Amino acid sequence: MLNNTLFTIISALTEADTTNYRLVLHPSHDIFQSHFIDNPILPGACIVQIAKELAQESCRNKVLNEGKSFLDDGKSFLITKIKNTKFLAVINPSEHSEITVIIKLTFQEDGYVAVSALFLDAGLIFAKANLVLQPTPIADITTSSAQIP
């Protein structure tokens, strides 16, 4: 998890299935120290992971008509498909210590969640990503991750 280590959520505003998150990036994080020395850039893999974590946060806050959360505490998301990603500008935490991430969720009939993510600041678009996520018990994710060679 990158939340509260690489970044911190400082605000979230939800309207229907779209949430605007304001994040502060932590330039002292090890990722920025090694990617790249003296020129910190947020890696693309971290951008995808942040989109997943924010979608997860949005789903935990999404209350269904039975009063339950869409994603309960025993589940997490597994990225099943990255439809596309576009990296349009580098995110350097020294130049952009705060960014906005807009997460739009589409709940599919098969139980999966389509996510559209937009990373921006002051009109500058850094990245766009479209993912498909599968709610999965945390124990299953841990087990499957341990089996990767």
The predicted structure's pLDDT at residue 141:
58
Instruction: Please give the pLDDT value at position 67.
Output: 63
H or E segment and range at residue 98: strand 98-107
- What mean pLDDT value characterizes the chain? 87
Q: Distance between CA atoms of 86 and 107, rounded to whole angstroms?
A: 23
Please check the confidence at residue 149 and state whether its pLDDT lies above 70: no
Task: Work out the pLDDT band at 73, boundaries 50, 70, 90.
Answer: low
Q: Is the pLDDT of residue 34 over 70?
A: yes
Structure confidence at residue 130 (pLDDT): 98
**Does pLDDT of 25 surpass 60?**
yes
**Residue 100 has what pLDDT?**
98
Tell whether the model's pLDDT for residue 120 goes beyond 50: yes
- How far apart (Å, rounded) are the C-alpha atoms in residues 71 and 68? 8
Beta pairing partners, 82: 131
Q: Say if residues 29 and 8 touch (Cβ distance below 8 Å).
A: no
Task: Calculate what percentage of the chain has a pLDDT beyond 70.
Answer: 87
111 vs 42, more confident: 42
pLDDT over 50 (residue 72): yes
d(CA 36, CA 27): 11
